[in-house]
Every structure is written in structure tokens, then in C-alpha cells.
Amino acid sequence: MDNALGEPQTILLLGGTSDIGLAIVRELLSPAARTVVLACRDLEKGEAAAAGLRHASLTVDVVAFDADDTASHEAVVADVAARHGDIDLAIVAFALLGDGAITSTDTTAAAAIAHTNFTANVTATIAVANRMKAQGHGGIVLLSSVAGERVRKQNPVYGGTKAGIDGFAQGLGDGLADAGVHMMVVRPGFVQSAMTAGLKAAPFSTTPEHVASVVAKGLRSKRRTVWAPGILRFVFMALRHTPGPLWRRLPLG
């Protein structure tokens, strides 16, 4: 359970090798933190990440988690709880960007992105939410994207999945509030990370560390949604209402 200062003692990162997810974990570590669980597919990479977090008073566990194996999500969360007790905070931080030129025309590639970014995010989040409702407390941080605010023609499958998961999390969060579970949706812009390596940075690009700082502040104030950087909230207030013919001509990358 969170301590008196609202600091989580047990943190679960679903997508345990995510640059943004790990930055959030590092930002949230406090003397109260006792356990971090990195749930990931690449266990070797997960162990390398864990080595950078461990210290004498912090247990860092690496567990197998295949996001695409949605039938396993309940069992993974149950196993984490059985071994480490209540999950104070879960960070849902796995997604695929995909190549928009391919996923816009290749149905198999599109289905793979949609399954990971939407279906798997839904089932993993519900698995965590069910556990936290049983506990009577907990927080969930779900990584969305500004790409879902108004989906760009350059990568409609990725943007569409982010729009979908954002809306899902907002609705689920409203339903969880009375059970003592707080849901916060994070809408980053272009983040300089392994996912975007080799891509041209978009305006207002940011870093995993900045996103993590925004997340920490948002959790302390129990925000429902946060933007990283914050200016993008106002940028997209305008872009949401840009007429279609003009929107299609904007050089948004």
C-alpha cells in the first residue's frame, strides 16, 4: 500500500523494458519503495534493466510477460500479487509503432499492431484493475499518445489504437474511482526513445525523463490525464478543430 505520502511501495511495469516505463519507475522510487516488478518478453534485457535499479533495500523482480498472449494476463498479475503482495502502482507501457506505409495497406501487419496496442492493453489493464479492486486501492498509469487526439494519415493504425486505448482507459478509470483505484492516462508527444530511433523528431519532442517527471506530478495531484510536454494540450485543442482539408495538408510528419 502507498505510504502516508502517497508513495508506492510495490510497482509493476508491464512492458518492463520500455524506456518511458523505466524512466517513470526511476522517478517514482523513494525510500518507501520495496519492490519493482519488470514484466517483459525479453528477460535478458529485463535483467539488464533490473541491474540498474537494484539496491540493498529494493527488490527488483523480472517476470515473463507476453503482451500478445492476452489469455495469460490474469495469471501474470495474480502471480505477481502472490509473490509480492498488493500492487500499489501498475504502469502499462507496451506498444508498437509500426511503419504507417505498411500497416495502412497490409492487413496482417495492421492486425498485429491493433492486437498489441489495443486488445492487449485492454486485457492487461483489466487484469490489473481487477486485482486492485480486490485490494481496495491502487493506481494505474496508462501510456497513450497525442497521436490518438487526431489521427494522422501517415500512421492511422497506430494513431487509431492510441485513440481507442485512451478512450477505454478514461471510461474504465471512471468506473474504478469508487473502488479506490486511480487511473491516469499519459499523452506524450514525440519521445526520443528506442521506439522512435532513426525518426525525425517532431515539434515539441521530449525525453523519457521529462515524461516521467510529468507522470510523477500528475500522480501526486491525482490527475485524470497529463500531457508531456504540457504545451501539447493547447496545440491539440487547436488541431482537433482544424478543418479537414487544411489538416490533410499540414506537414505533421
Active site residue 216: no
Rg (CA), the chain: 18
Judged by DSSP in three states, 63 sits in strand
Find the catalytic residue in 158, 168, 190, 236: 158
Please, where are the H alpha helices in 65-106? 73-84, 100-103
Please, where are the H alpha helices in the chain? 19-28, 43-51, 73-84, 100-103, 107-114, 121-135, 156-176, 208-220, 231-239, 244-249
Judged by DSSP in three states, 95 sits in coil
The residue type at 222? K
Q: Which residues pair with 39 in a beta bridge?
A: 14, 63
Residue 67 to residue 17: CA distance in whole angstroms: 12
DSSP class of residue 201 equals: P
Residues classed as catalytic: 158
